[in-house]
């Protein structure tokens, strides 16, 4: 089955940019819809962005154009470029995979999750 592993998180100042990565393995990457979720401390997990195998993209409204999701099917990689970061963006960022072609923003539809990478934005 599909396995994913996030990397690239860290401590960053507000207004700066950061790009996190997700490496997938163990499955047919091209058969999965991939998504990024985040979970602030003490809060629930929320959808950030998703991308289909054909690179159609979907974003949470609260991002207001600041984030960009992309994928490289040849390398089994998914990326999330985060621009103009704000303290409220502080969270553990998770990469997740969902078999099939139908996009969903609810975490229960995703069966394959990474351990997450911490992004901390200071003021």
Strand 10-13, strand 91-99: pairing: unpaired
C-alpha dihedral sign at 33, 100, 114, 120: positive
pLDDT, mean of each 10-residue run, the chain (123 residues) = 96 98 94 97 96 95 93 97 97 96 91 97 97
Query: Dihedral of CA 3/86/107/36: which sign?
Result: negative
Nearest residue to 59 (alpha-carbon basis) of 97, 103, 94: 103
Of the candidates 27, 32, 26, 31, the one whose C-alpha atom is nearest the C-alpha of residue 110 is 32
How much is the pLDDT for 33?
A: 96
Q: What is the pLDDT, as a whole number, of residue 52? A: 95
The pLDDT assigned to 101 comes to: 84
Sequence-distant (6+) residues with CB within 8 A of 74 are none
What confidence score (pLDDT) does residue 21 get?
98
Three-state SS at 3: strand
Q: Residue 91 forms beta bridges with which residues?
A: 119
The DSSP element (H or E) to which 33 belongs, if any, is strand 32-39
């Amino acid at each position: 089955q599909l396995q994913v592993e996030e990397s690239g998180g860290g401590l960053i100042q507000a207004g700066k940019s950061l790009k996190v990565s997700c490496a997938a393995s163990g499955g047919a990457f091209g058969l999965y819809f991939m998504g990024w979720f985040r979970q602030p401390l003490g809060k629930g997990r929320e959808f950030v962005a998703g991308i289909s195998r054909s690179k159609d993209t979907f974003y949470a409204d609260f991002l207001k154009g600041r984030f960009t999701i992309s994928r490289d099917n040849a390398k089994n990689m998914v990326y999330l470029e985060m621009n103009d970061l704000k303290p409220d963006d502080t969270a553990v960022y998770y990469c997740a995979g969902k078999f099939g072609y139908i996009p969903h923003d609810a975490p229960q539809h995703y069966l394959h999750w990474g351990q997450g990478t911490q992004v901390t934005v200071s003021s």
